[in-house]
Amino acid sequence: MPKFCANLTWLFGELPYMDRFRAAREAGFEGVEVLFPYDCPTQDMRDQLVLNGLSFVLMNCPLPNATGGPQGFAAVPGGEERFRRDFDRTLRFAQVLKPLHIHIMAGVAEGPEAEATFVRNLRWAAARAPRQGLTIEPINRIDMPGYFLADYETAARVLDAVASPNLALQFDAYHAHRITGDAAAAWGAHGHRARHVQVAGFPGRHEPAGGAIDYPAFFARLAADGYDGWISGEYAPATTTVDGLGWIR
């Protein structure tokens, strides 16, 4: 059976943040992810996870840029010191929240020097936290202009170059479809590298049902391929979150 988790940054937004944990559990989710869990008391979030019997699956690094600047510095030449400082800050939050994965964001950059920087920083991070699962995720440049990691071939080269057992691919079917035009084919080529999956409808980024991505077939493919990680709903509900949860049933 698939293991579904709820992205609480996107889902249950009609509720106060701390109430979303209980709502997710009551809706049938066994795990949650939060993109940037840095603004609320960390121990309060941990208490909600434990109280509701939820696994904490994923969080992003670095901390969000309050000035509206780019998210991520791991592939930005000259940003190594900032990346390492922010990664250590994320680890302090992770000590309490205990995420299964930390998604390391590449940031806005381009070219061979950016790729080399990304590889060096990921090697450093993987060695810095050898027991912590880490992921990298291709993100399409329509939604995030200039983002360095915007295709799966680059992700494969980077993962092979880093060659660390605690670093893997984060596969977002919505981004995969926008990048390649065929999420299922992208999974076929690169899914063996994935330890975390996110889903949303295409093109509207609403519930993963209908639209251009055949999600029943996609979930069946994941099962046939032996994928045993989490599948996270990371989408904007078309109405209320609960009304749109037919896809997990």
Q: pLDDT of 194-217, one tens digit each?
A: 999 999 999 999 999 989 999 999
Contact 27, 241 (CB under 8 A): yes
Q: What is the pLDDT of residues 89-126, one digit of tens each?
A: 999 999 999 999 999 999 999 999 999 999 999 999 99
Residue 98's pLDDT is what? 98
User: Where are the alpha helices (H) located in the chain, listed in sequence order?
Assistant: 20-26, 42-51, 80-97, 112-128, 152-162, 173-180, 183-190, 215-224
Residues paired with 232 in a beta bridge: 5, 198
Burial class (CB in 10 A: 0-12, 13-18, 19+), 80: middle
CA–CA distance, 158 with 193 (Å, rounded to integer): 12
Given 33, 115, 137, 207, the catalytic residue? 137
Residue 64's pLDDT is what? 75
pLDDT exceeds 80 at position 65: no
Which CATH fold topology does 3-248 show?
A: TIM Barrel (3.20.20)
Percent of the chain whose predicted confidence (pLDDT) is above 70: 97
Residues in the chain: 249
What are the domain boundaries of the chain? 3-248
Contact 170, 137 (CB under 8 A): yes
pLDDT exceeds 60 at position 67: no
pTM of the model: 0.97
Given 33, 115, 207, 234, the catalytic residue? 234
Q: How far is CA 140 from the centre of its chain?
A: 13
Specify whether 137 is catalytic: yes
Residues in CB range of 55: below 8 A, 6 or more apart: 5, 30, 31, 32, 49, 100, 230
Contact 93, 42 (CB under 8 A): yes
Q: What is the mean pLDDT of residues 29-36?
A: 97
Residue 69's pLDDT is what? 66
| Tokens read off for 222 | 């994941």
Q: What is the pLDDT of residues 120-176, one digit of tens each?
A: 999 999 999 999 999 999 999 999 999 999 999 999 999 999 999 999 999 999 999
Q: Minimum mean pLDDT among 60-64, 169-173, 236-240: which range?
A: 60-64
179 CB neighbour count, 10 Å cutoff: 19
| Tokens read off for 206 | 């609403």
Percent of the chain whose predicted confidence (pLDDT) is above 90: 94
pLDDT mean across residues, the chain = 96
